[in-house]
């Protein structure tokens, strides 16, 4: 599965000041990790955001978010966000920051 290179570059730009960010191809797309923990990914034209189980219901209630069901089973704690949810930089920043906050709360790998 191909992923949106323009979206990946927008995410890279937003994370550029963090020294603990790495990238890895996962789930058929490109994932960004903070301290070795996945925070966001680009899957086709969608943004995948790891919000954690505690923030999952609230994240799903936001416009353009839906369950991540990559394998046919719902992955609690991770949401897909459709393109309208990050069309502007403020929307992208909000979602990426949510993923970074969760990943940074975990012990580094």
Residue numbers of the domain that contains 51: 5-104
Query: How many domains does one find in the chain?
Result: 1
Q: What is the pLDDT of residues 55-103, one digit of tens each?
A: 999 999 999 999 998 778 888 999 999 999 999 999 999 999 999 999 9
Total length of the chain: 109
Question: Is residue 28, in this structure, part of any structural domain at all?
Answer: yes
Q: Evaluate whether residue 39 is within a structural domain.
A: yes
- CATH classification of the domain holding 91: 3.90.1150.30
| Distance, CA of 80 to CA of 105 (rounded, Å) | 20
Is residue 61 in some structural domain? yes
65-67 β-sheet, strand order: 21-26, 29-34, 37-43, 46-50, 78-81, 65-67
Query: What is the per-residue pLDDT across 5-57, written as a single tens digit (0 to 9) for each?
Result: 999 999 999 999 999 999 999 988 999 999 999 999 999 999 999 999 999 99
Q: Which residues contact 11 (CB under 8 A, 6 or more apart)?
A: 32, 40, 42, 47, 92, 96
Rounded Cα distance between 10 and 61, Å, is 24
Q: Is residue 109 part of a domain?
A: no
């Amino acid at each position: 599965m191909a992923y949106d290179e323009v979206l990946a570059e927008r995410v890279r730009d937003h994370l550029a000041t963090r020294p603990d960010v790495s990238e890895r191809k996962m789930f058929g797309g490109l994932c960004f990790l903070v301290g070795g923990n996945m925070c966001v990914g680009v899957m086709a034209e969608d943004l995948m955001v790891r919000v954690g189980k505690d923030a999952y219901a609230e994240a799903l209630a936001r416009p353009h978010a839906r369950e991540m069901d990559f394998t046919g089973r719902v992955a609690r704690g991770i949401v897909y966000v459709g393109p309208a949810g990050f069309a502007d930089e403020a929307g992208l920043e909000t979602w990426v920051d949510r993923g970074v906050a969760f990943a940074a709360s975990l012990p580094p790998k």
